Structure 1
Amino acid sequence: MIVLSILWSLAVIGVLCWLLFTLAVFALPLFLGLAAGTWAHGTGAGWLGAVIVGLVAAGATFTTGQLLLALVRPLWLKLVVLLAFVAPAVVAGYAATHGIVKHTTPSETWQLVFSGVGAVAVGIVAFVRLTALIPSEPPGRGITGA
């Protein structure tokens, strides 16, 4: 029975890590959607209104980011947009890793080290996934005909 619970715990941790890596791209839209929904609820919109405002804000944030990545030409500006999406993913990765590690590692120093490694890993994965969403240049663009 103990072996099954250990295996089950490892499987759950694996699924949660996979979920974290998969959803890290959506950290900024999630945070902004939660903030907008909380604001709407605080102004008296009710639960349904808050959910709708939060979903619209999250969708608008993700769509705006995708449009900026597709339409902006300078590379430095694309990096700014990417960093705006990667920074919340790094924070979420740190928090998620720290939440797991604080239950398994007694040393606070090692908790911070492992949390930092988790944050960097989630940030790299979010950056790679976001760069995969950038449309490539059409063939022949920038080549002048002779």
Structure 2
Amino acid sequence: MVVTTALGILGFGAALWILFNLAVYALPFAIGLTTAMHLLEAEQGVILSLGAGLFAGAATLVFGELASARVRSVPIRFAIASIYALPAGLAGFHAVKGIAELAGAGPTAVTLLSWLGALAIGATAWVRITTVPGNGPSNSGP
């Protein structure tokens, strides 16, 4: 019984981690899924649909990160980050709302937790799209 409880908690934690990452990358995921579904409906085949969907999602993510890293104009960087963070916040709101309602929380707690989840996931998406790899603190010493 202890093993099944531990595995259940581990599985629930893994599902929450996957849900969090899907919410953070909501825009690339939605573009990749939409591309794949459109090609599948156009009878282009499963392999081509999956490949094109993965490519479209990855290209959207890479384009956003490169554009955010290369553009020097603050308003344009703000717009790029907002384009990625707003869908993530919306996805986070609904993900946390569903989990809170499943847990049986009251309406006030559900609303509060949903907004906190939207802020946390939107902020995480904002940071991930605006952070340039390799520009963090270095350990090269004084």
TM-score (norm 1): 0.76
Distance 1:35 1:108, change over 3 A: same
Shift of 1:83: 0.9
Structure exhibiting the larger radius of gyration computed from Cα positions = 1
Q: Which position in structure 2 is the counterpart of 1:91?
A: 90
**Equivalent-residue separation in structure 1 for 2:133 and 2:68 (angstroms):** 6
Cα-to-partner distance string for 1:42-94 (whole Å, 9 max, x where unaligned)? 11112112112211211221121122112211011011111111112112212
More divergent stretch after superposition (33-42 vs 111-120)? 111-120
Structure 1 SS opposite 2:102: coil
**Equivalent-residue separation in structure 2 for 1:54 and 1:105 (angstroms):** 36
TM-score (norm 2): 0.78
Whether 1:30 and 2:29 are equivalent positions in the alignment is yes
**Equivalent-residue separation in structure 2 for 1:72 and 1:134 (angstroms):** 15
More divergent stretch after superposition (101-110 vs 51-60)? 101-110
Number of residue pairs the alignment of both structures matches:
135
Would the aligned equivalents of 1:29 and 1:61 in 2 still touch at CA under 8 Å? Answer: yes
**Equivalent-residue separation in structure 1 for 2:105 and 2:5 (angstroms):** 19
Q: State, as a whole percentage, how many aligned pairs show the same letter.
A: 31
Q: Which position in structure 2 is the counterpart of 1:102?
A: 101
Shift of 1:115: 1.4
